[in-house]
Amino acid sequence: MVRATDGLRLPGYDFVDPGLLAQALTHRSAAPAHNERLEFLGDALVNLFVAEALYKRWPRADEGTLTRARAELVRESALAAIARTLELGQHLVLGPGEMKSGGHRRDSILADAVEAIVGAIHLDGGFEACRTAVLPWFESSIDALPPPNKIGKDAKTRLQEWLQARGKPLPAYTLVSESGDEHAKTFRVACALAEPRIECEGEGTSRRAAEQVAAEAVLAKIDP
């Protein structure tokens, strides 16, 4: 029988109890012993590891800057990118519905799996081993951050400020569509400006996330 963990190698860590890794890769749609509790634990650990790394790297940055930088590094799409680097998608255990709908490619499921694996490493090897294994997953993203004084606000806020500074009407956000199962919906939202006349769409796993993607697309057109 082929197991979810067969062929999966995590850089920097080998599990003593492979069962923890198998559980971390199991979506709630597939089995009662799924990864949600491990995800809860891993979420807290990821936030701590990244916060500590930023705190040490930027000794003069204020709380707001550190908070925005951490949010950038631990957001769903960033964690999903790590999952793809680790090639987790092909090892996920999903129920028939999620398999059919391409759940192994969905950002939300991939991000949850990363957090669950972090929780599993902590339970398997302890705090220090977990931090040593996990921090390198974020190093390239941390290195790519702009200087602390240039850490930006979210896209909707930046767009609103750009328009207000020029005395132009605020954007209108419209829900275009929503699809998928109740627990894994995808939202498409349009962001429209009256002046200049521009409209862009964005997708996300929540309406708010889709609005941010749409706002970012508008910003790319008006302030490249």
211 is in an annotated binding site: no
Give the CA angle between residues 162, 163, 168 to the nearest 5°: 155
Is 115 annotated in the active site? Answer: yes
Using CB atoms within 10 A of its CB, is residue 202 exposed (0-12), middle (13-18) or buried (19+)? buried
Dihedral sign from CA coordinates of 18, 24, 30, 34: positive
Is 223 annotated in the active site? Answer: no
Helices (H), 59-166: 63-74, 76-85, 96-100, 107-125, 127-143, 155-165
Catalytic-role residue among 72, 107, 115, 124: 115
Length of the chain: 224
Q: What's the start-to-end Cα distance of the chain, in Å?
A: 52
Taking the mean position of all CA atoms in its chain, how far away is CA 84?
Answer: 12
Tokens read off for 129 = 């081993």
Contact criterion met (CB below 8 Å) for 114 and 79:
yes
39 is in an annotated binding site: yes
Using CB atoms within 10 A of its CB, is residue 87 exposed (0-12), middle (13-18) or buried (19+)? exposed
115 is in an annotated binding site: yes
Catalytic-role residue among 43, 72, 98, 211: 43
The phi and psi torsions of 107 (rounded to 5 degrees) equal: -55, -45
Catalytic positions, written as ranges: 43, 115
Q: Which residues are annotated as a binding site?
A: 39, 112, 115
Q: Which residues are annotated as a binding site for Mg(2+)?
A: 39, 112, 115
